[in-house]
Amino acid sequence: MPLTVQQLTEIPYLRTRILAGWSGADRVITWAHAIEGPRPWEWLEAGDLLMTTGIGIPAEPEQQVAYVENLARIGVTGVAIGEDMEAPPLTPAMLEAAEQQALALLWTAYEIPFVQIGRAVAATSHEQEYARLVKASRIYDRVRAAAIESAKPGDLLRGVGEELDCRLWVCVNELATSLFPDTEDPPAAAQRTLLGELRERGGSLPGILRLEAGADKLLIVPVPARRAASLLAIPRAANGPPFSLLQHAATVAALEVERLRASREELRRLGSETFAALVDARISPATAGSQLLAHGLDGMHLTVLAASREGGLRRSGDVHHSLAEREIPHLLLRRNDILYALLPADDEVVAKLLELFDDEVRVGLSDRFRDLEKVSTATREARWALESAVGGRMRVGRYGDQTSLFGPRSLGEGRAVVQRVLGPVLEYDAEHGTSLLASVETFLRCNRSWQRAAAELFVHKQTLVYRVRRVEELTGRKVNSTADVAELWFALRARDVMK
């Protein structure tokens, strides 16, 4: 039979005595944990005995009272504090609160290791631990049966919930919505509570959170998967299942999350191949149409979005997962550190995608189209609009708008600029097998530093000087003229888009 607090203090070699909270002396200890953090109630459950050197106990009376009340709220049986260790003075307010909450405060002699208390508790808890082991075994039996029957994640989650006598959801943290497409979202109050807690904690959760949302009690456990997700449980019984069983459920959920991730990664890869084939004109519209059907993009007006930022587009690795969770059909393609998205031509869809990027990301949008033969042109339009957004220091550029104070506004105008400004250099390079254009582009990108540009091109400075002078002769524009440099630079950027 499990020990009570009183029985624990009667074991001579443990040298532990009750300091306060005598009203809880007959309470049963189901397990013992050593935790030194300031909020141990986030890692414990009902019936646990907290063992601590006292380093996490606050010093102020009001905070000590809150410490006791938070432990009592989740049903902790008592606190065994190492005597003459790290604990601050225990105030009368804390001792009185312990008595009121029936939470035993214990002194354990300095020379007694906490492991001795843990062993004593474990030796008397075999029956209860066996019951938990049986329950955990039943959970994994559900996993085995689901694998044999190829059950959907929602069906498995409902089965595990039956074992734990809970309603269960696996929620994606950024939305607090159900991650699995075959399950409904949790109640709105639970979603708001989860989102609020994640914001307050910077996206990180402890081992378990016990919260309330309206009339419901919430138990929240992190899911150990690459996608930031949480297991949200609403117990049907008063106390809910033990923390250890919820961790087993979270592990099961993690397996399903990873399986869903792998499925989505494969779909993203196939979609990226289709997108690239359309851009490079390597696939017919008829063949592509059947593939777009699998991605939910058939028979609608489309647009291409191009996104980038200075120094590279970071934090975009889960864009396709986030779009899938928002039920937005899409294809994604990354080229030259630019992320392209083929999307429904809908302002609300574009707005949802923009929410996934930080404010430094610049975005370009093509004209809307329906004919898949125009995907390649639309991708260049999106890139053009992106260049305009970057040049005009705007978040979003739309193809055909006057999105920049300078430079051409369309691909047609861009081709004319490239030919007028760079045409002679392009012809010279093609005829003589030279790299004048690449040399002058590197020179301008290095802010007209001869040394830096020559080092980047692995040529002597005088070789670079010769090449740039030749470009000046061919174009009639000088690199010491701000107006001429501006024309050269805009023409070079326009040529990049035409590639």
Closest of 413, 467, 412 to residue 441, by C-alpha: 467
CATH number at residue 201: 3.30.450.40
Burial tier of 468 (Cβ tally within 10 Å: 0-12, 13-18, 19+): buried
Residue 404 pLDDT class (50, 70, 90 cuts): very low
Read off the pTM. 0.63
Q: Is 311 left (phi over 0), alpha (psi -120 to 50) or beta?
A: left
pLDDT at 93 over 70: yes
Cα-Cα-Cα-Cα dihedral sign, residues 462, 464, 467, 473: negative
3-state SS class at 218: strand
The average confidence (pLDDT) of the chain is: 86
Please give the structure tokens belonging to residue 172: 């994606």
Q: Are residues 246 and 313 in the same domain?
A: no
Q: Are residues 233 and 185 in the same domain?
A: yes
Return the bridge partners of 307, or none.
Answer: 339, 363
- The number of angstroms, rounded, from the C-alpha of 403 to the middle of its chain's C-alpha atoms is 32
Closest of 291, 288, 268 to residue 279, by C-alpha: 288
Mean pLDDT of 255-275: 91
Q: Are residues 247 and 302 in the same domain?
A: no
Alpha carbons 129 and 161: distance in angstroms, whole number: 20
Residue 405 resides in a domain: no
Cα-Cα-Cα-Cα dihedral sign, residues 462, 463, 467, 470: positive
Q: Are residues 145 and 221 in the same domain?
A: yes
Q: Are residues 156 and 197 in the same domain?
A: yes
Which of 101, 124, 147 lies at the terminal end of a domain, its last residue?
124
Cα-Cα-Cα-Cα dihedral sign, residues 264, 270, 275, 279: positive
Residue 96 pLDDT class (50, 70, 90 cuts): very high
Alpha carbons 394 and 386: distance in angstroms, whole number: 9
pLDDT single digits (tens) 149-194? 888 888 999 999 998 999 999 999 988 999 998 889 999 999 999 9
Q: Are residues 244 and 135 in the same domain?
A: yes
Q: Are residues 86 and 108 in the same domain?
A: yes
Residue 125 pLDDT class (50, 70, 90 cuts): low
C-beta of residue 177 within 8 angstroms of C-beta of residue 171: yes
Q: Are residues 67 and 154 in the same domain?
A: no
Mean pLDDT of 90-114: 94
Q: Are residues 107 and 133 in the same domain?
A: no
Which of 375, 398, 421 lies at the terminal end of a domain, its last residue?
398
Alpha carbons 197 and 221: distance in angstroms, whole number: 12
Q: Are residues 289 and 233 in the same domain?
A: no
* Whole-number pLDDT of residue 335: 87
Residue 319 pLDDT class (50, 70, 90 cuts): confident
Residue 298 resides in a domain: yes
Mean pLDDT of 433-458: 90
Alpha carbons 442 and 455: distance in angstroms, whole number: 10
Of 71-85, 232-246, 273-287, least confident by mean pLDDT is 232-246
pLDDT single digits (tens) 22-31? 999 999 898 8
CATH number at residue 58: 3.40.1390.20
* Whole-number pLDDT of residue 300: 86
Containing 7, the helix (H) or strand (E) segment is helix 5-9
Residue 404 resides in a domain: no
Which of 337, 371, 398 lies at the terminal end of a domain, its last residue?
398
Residues in contact with 275: Cβ distance below 8 Å, sequence separation at least 6, in sequence order: 331, 332, 333, 340, 342, 375
Residue 103 resides in a domain: yes
Return the bridge partners of 33, or none.
Answer: 50
CATH number at residue 439: 1.10.10.2840
Q: Are residues 131 and 225 in the same domain?
A: yes
pLDDT at 314 over 80: no
* Whole-number pLDDT of residue 166: 92
CATH number at residue 386: 3.30.70.270
Q: Are residues 239 and 147 in the same domain?
A: yes
* Whole-number pLDDT of residue 34: 93
pLDDT at 413 over 70: no
pLDDT at 405 over 60: no
Residue 275 resides in a domain: no
Residue 290 resides in a domain: yes
Residue 265 resides in a domain: no
Residue 269 resides in a domain: no
Question: How many independent structural domains does the chain possess?
Answer: 4
Pure H helices in 74-176: 92-101, 114-123, 126-149, 153-164
Count CA atoms closer than 13 A to 49's CA, side-chain side: 33
* Whole-number pLDDT of residue 403: 44
- Domain range for 433: 411-498
The three-point CA angle 197-132-122 to 5° equals: 100
Please give the structure tokens belonging to residue 438: 């690449």
Q: Which residue has the tokens 């991708």?
A: 379
Virtual torsion, Cα 139, 144, 150, 154, nearest 10 deg: 10
